Structure 1
Amino acid sequence: MNDYNQRPEMPFNALPPAVVALAVVIGGIELLFQIGSYGIIGGPNAVGWRITAMEQFAFFDAVFEAMRSEGSWPLEHVIRFVTYAGVHYSITHAAMVVVFILALGKMVGETFGNIAVLIVFFTSIIAGSLAYGLFLDTNVQLVGAYAGAYGLIGSYTLMLWIGLGAMQQNQFRAFSLIGFLLAIQLVFGLFFGRSPDWVADLAGFVTGFSVSILLIPGAPRRIFERIRQR
């Protein structure tokens, strides 16, 4: 009798709300670009929505360096440290990041909570653009939410690291996923032109891993006590 009363669980019901929200926003923006490019909405100007969005919201190293040299930080450019994550080169570019967010965000959200997903994602996004601006000298704009996705990979890697340590196994196996992904980027770079985006992605991963350490219950207190003992 109970089996008949149970309703089938919808796919999104199993996902933390923060993960669903991130996926919907990124996917929704890309959907607007797609239907605009076919002239379904927005009229003739909609065809250029993606290019216009890149000009207004992408992160440019030249803009960052100009702000640093002038010591001026206008809001319209400061927001680029985050807004670049909402614009992607294509539907494939956006779809891959949504897949990462749904898969890894679910595990991170179930372990650390909804707020933690947002903290990891956005701190990794900001760290990615900062690393891109500080370590590179390039005219290629930074777009896409991959730094945030790699931040979730960093958080998931920490979970594996802790789990493997508890089982007394080789903890460096936890880094196999990030190693595999960076290797794929290297291969694609060799065949299709090297992209500097990997700098932002790696910064996002390191940030996600590091921030997640502080999200473990009681971690800040234990870290502070360890520092005092030294």
Structure 2
Amino acid sequence: MSAPDFQPPVNPMPPAVILLFVAIAGVEAGLSLGEAGLIGGPGAVGWRLGLIRDYGFSGQIFDWMIANRQFPLPELLRLLSYPFVHLSFTHGIFAMVLLLALGKMVAEVMGQVAFVLIFVLSGVGGAVVYGLLLDNPMWLTGAYPNVYGLIGAYTFVLWRSLGRTGEPQARAFTLIGLLMGLQLLWGVFFEVGMLWVAELAGFFCGFALCFLLAPGEWARMRAGLRRR
């Protein structure tokens, strides 16, 4: 008598999503424990500000690099490191929840390599646009531009799906429209700054990258070129 196949109650999380989550959660756990006085002693209170200064993205530093045509490696690495440092525990926890929810979908539909590329390059694109368009002294930190890139990938999948069924593809942009509307509403009552520029740029980067990374898109592009 053969043993029945075991089916887990939920689908397992893709390893790439888990690794990124653990990296972000590990940094946030250390900072939060330090701020609570559980590790690091009195100096731990300043760890978060120190990490933001050392690993966050500064639009002013970016402007200096562009103006002087000098691109020191430590400053370029900020494009990759800023998503792993958040402004607060709450700021980090929301980013991690979105990463798990959206990352699972993107990794399962497009593959883990595509997921990592979309996450990383959306964050880079969001920071570059933030630095080029704004002269904002506020440091860019947190994984939100990256997560918005995953929202862009989710939107792309929905956009293609609606196109195949003949339904209005504009419906795919409902989520990003809702999120931007909430940003605007929130800004009426609170000072939210201009970080939404990086988030919106991350969304469009994620959406655009899917034309290169989504399964079947290369074949679709080649077929389109042949028809021309």
The answer to whether TM tops 0.5 is yes
Query: Structure 1's 2 and 83: CA in aligned 2 closer, same or farther, altered over 3 A?
Result: same
1:124 aligns with 122
Q: CA RMSD, aligned part only?
A: 2.0
Question: CA offsets, 1:141-176, max 9 Å, x none?
Answer: 111100110000000001101111111111111100
Listed as ranges, the matches of 1:31-46 within 5 Å are: 31-46=29-44
2:68 aligns with 70
1:86 aligns with 84
Gaps of 5+ in 1: none
Gaps of 5+ in 2: none
SS state at 2:87 partner: coil
Amino acid corresponding to residue 54 of structure 2 in structure 1: Q
**C-alpha separation between the residues in 2 aligned to 1:194 and 1:45?**
29
Listed as ranges, the matches of 1:70-219 within 5 Å are: 70-219=68-217
Identity %: 43
**C-alpha separation between the residues in 2 aligned to 1:67 and 1:10?**
51
More off after superposition, 146-155 vs 162-171: 162-171
1:9 aligns with 8
SS state at 1:14 partner: coil
Amino acid corresponding to residue 48 of structure 1 in structure 2: G
Amino acid corresponding to residue 100 of structure 2 in structure 1: L
Query: Structure 1's 220 and 33: CA in aligned 2 closer, same or farther, altered over 3 A?
Result: same
Amino acid corresponding to residue 164 of structure 1 in structure 2: L
Query: Structure 1's 7 and 190: CA in aligned 2 closer, same or farther, altered over 3 A?
Result: same
Query: Structure 1's 194 and 39: CA in aligned 2 closer, same or farther, altered over 3 A?
Result: closer
**C-alpha separation between the residues in 2 aligned to 1:210 and 1:50?**
33
The question of 1:52 aligning with 2:15 is answered no
Question: CA offsets, 1:31-80, max 9 Å, x none?
Answer: 10000112222222111100000110111111111111111111111111
Q: How many residues of Structure 1 are paired with residues of Structure 2 in the alignment?
A: 228
Deviation (angstroms), 1:217: 2.9
Amino acid corresponding to residue 98 of structure 1 in structure 2: M
SS state at 1:72 partner: coil
Deviation (angstroms), 1:21: 1.2
**C-alpha separation between the residues in 1 aligned to 2:192 and 2:47?**
26
**C-alpha separation between the residues in 1 aligned to 2:179 and 2:212?**
25
Query: Structure 1's 182 and 6: CA in aligned 2 closer, same or farther, altered over 3 A?
Result: same
SS state at 2:64 partner: helix
SS state at 2:37 partner: coil
Conserved in 1, the CA contact under 8 Å of 2:114 and 2:214? no
Query: Structure 1's 7 and 44: CA in aligned 2 closer, same or farther, altered over 3 A?
Result: farther
Structure 1 stretches (4+) deviating beyond 4 angstroms? 5-8, 227-230
- Partner of residue 220 from structure 1, selected from 212, 218, 221: 218
